[in-house]
Chain A
Amino acid sequence: MTILTRSAYGEPGTSLDFKTGNWRSTEKPVHIHAKAPCHGACPAGEDQQAWFALLQEGRVEAAWRALVAANPLPGVTGRVCPHPCETACNRKALDGALAIHNVERWLGDEAVANGWAYPVEEPPADAPVVAIIGAGPAGVSAAYHALRHGMRARIFEAASEAGGLLRSAIPPTRLPRAALNAELDRVLSLPGIEVTCRARLGRDVSVEALAADHAAVLLAPGCQEGRDWDVGGSVPADHHEGLALLKEFMDHGQFPAAQRVIVHGGGNTAMDLCRLMKRFGVGEVTLVTASGLPGPDTATDDLINVVPRELEEALEEGIEIIPHATVNRLIMRGSKVVGAEVASLKKVPGTDGRKKRVTFEGTERVRDVDMVIPCIGEMVDPEGLHSWINRGYLRPSDHWGTLSDRIYALGDARGDRGTVAEAIGDGARAVAAVAARLNGGEATTDTRAELPASDLNPVYYPPAARSVAPKLPVSERTFEAEIEGDIGHEAALAEAARCLSCGNCLACDNCWTFCPDSAVIKTAELATDGSFYLFDLDYCKGCGLCAQECPTGYIQMRPE
């Protein structure tokens, strides 16, 4: 595009004759649309800044469409995701990170309530078909993204219903089944997606057979297989593994009778189990975890890996948490547990230079308990996958999930994942890799740099408090009722208005207002770089005022 600036039509003999020439400072302003940190942190690949911008314009449906370009299940992730986007949010240093999950959830629910159509079309009948094992979040996401890439998807699910661990392991108090079903049904009924339930790998289908007549096979079976567990060789007769116990409870509404329980682990399964058991009437529920609780002395990589608000709610409900500790010994009467020795852990330098945790001698104490439940993670059920499994998991070689030619691994089964958002992102990534290969190319990632908080000019943002979702009081928490409520239309839009638009132009006119040389020109239509401004470098002196006063860091000074 030829840019005609004032110097091109300036009348001779006017001051427009006096151009900056070669005496500009060593830098000139450029527009750089950096990656917002929320986007960089989102395992599902959402660009939160983009959909918040649409909400700020009041375009709610368009915002949802931008959101589901990455994540087809916002109503689900808005409820269950530990939201690393909020941890990364640049606003946290001002007056609190954006409550992105509240708005995401609200948008997801609005779409369901209003029946907004997913922005996908049915692929042609002869389009390539991908086979997907597992209708959990990874499989559903993969099927949805297949449509976005013009492919068809065929999902094989071993259970009688789709949903994977969203259904089997997340309590309805966190994810009501109505919300889950509504979103899943809307995605899975999109034309071009075919779901076969009760189709078990190794019995009804095989990876090799599917690979023979599909463009690709995407393995998203999740982790179903409990790990072996013992403490110093002893295993109680009534041993229950955490996830299995949780699944049983979801099916039958029963826990084994116990008065005092220790749950050993540090993830969401452990937390869900603690809270459900406490609500079920177990008198004392103690979580023993090797990780630390949030606080000034806890490093980020040492933090207990649960949704922060879940932790807060668990403490409200009276769950005792013993951080940096382990179950050292089971005290058995016959084959029944009657107590457990809990010991603190301390860090010592390991042989590989990294710190490792060892029992802190002398801190052992005995707790009288009826049950010790390990929640130490699960592995892939090897049935039908023997040739792909490597030490319990599928362990693909890359970010795209490549196991071998046309076979990909997604979600928990990879062995390096642990959240719904990661599973959803895996679905998108694997399908992008498949589509790129079919087109003879390679999939690409967003390699833009993230915008650091120091590049923002915070004075232009008036203070605004983070929204807080309503919560059921502890006394009213049951096994069914959702604990966290909806923030509603007004609060959602107010929350969206808090977005700082990191790295993206807000059309605030600051550059145009402040430029001492009128070298910022406003354009009537969107310029090629996505803003409404051009720099007239014939007159720009390189003073950097525009970059300084740009609230979002979209203008950066770069060497000539």
Chain B
Amino acid sequence: MESKPLEEILREHPFLEGFKPEHIRKMAEMALEVQFGRDQIIFREGQESGLFFLILSGKVALEVSAPGRILRVQTLEAGEELGWSSVLGEGGKHFQARSLETVRALAFEGARLRQACEQDPSFGYALMRQLLRVVAERLQATRLQLLDLYAPRAAKLI
């Protein structure tokens, strides 16, 4: 694992860009360093996993089961977030997460994050704002995926 102090690691993570030092300190107090080996299932679709992750290195695939096959719909890498729904604390996971290579991450219990948000609304606003950005980006990317932009059309130029 990183030899750097947790606060420094967190300060360099894009998710916490713009966070106040005291908010980063609060996150550091709740962070747990974790590592997953290649091809390990981090959580399964529908599972009640309460963990939110900030990825430090490696690659994670989000997968969805279809009859007879598993479809990979997104990959997440260093600097990205995994398991945002844990912070909301409602329902199970929307996708299965699998490490495609060795993954190092910081894990946070969703319930503790929610509690910290309620105790300190300023921290809560900063965290929820960043989460909203993540969700908005994923929504936008999903919409583009749904448009199936590269589907064949009648030939024009190209």
Q: Do the two shown chains form a genuine complex with each other?
A: no
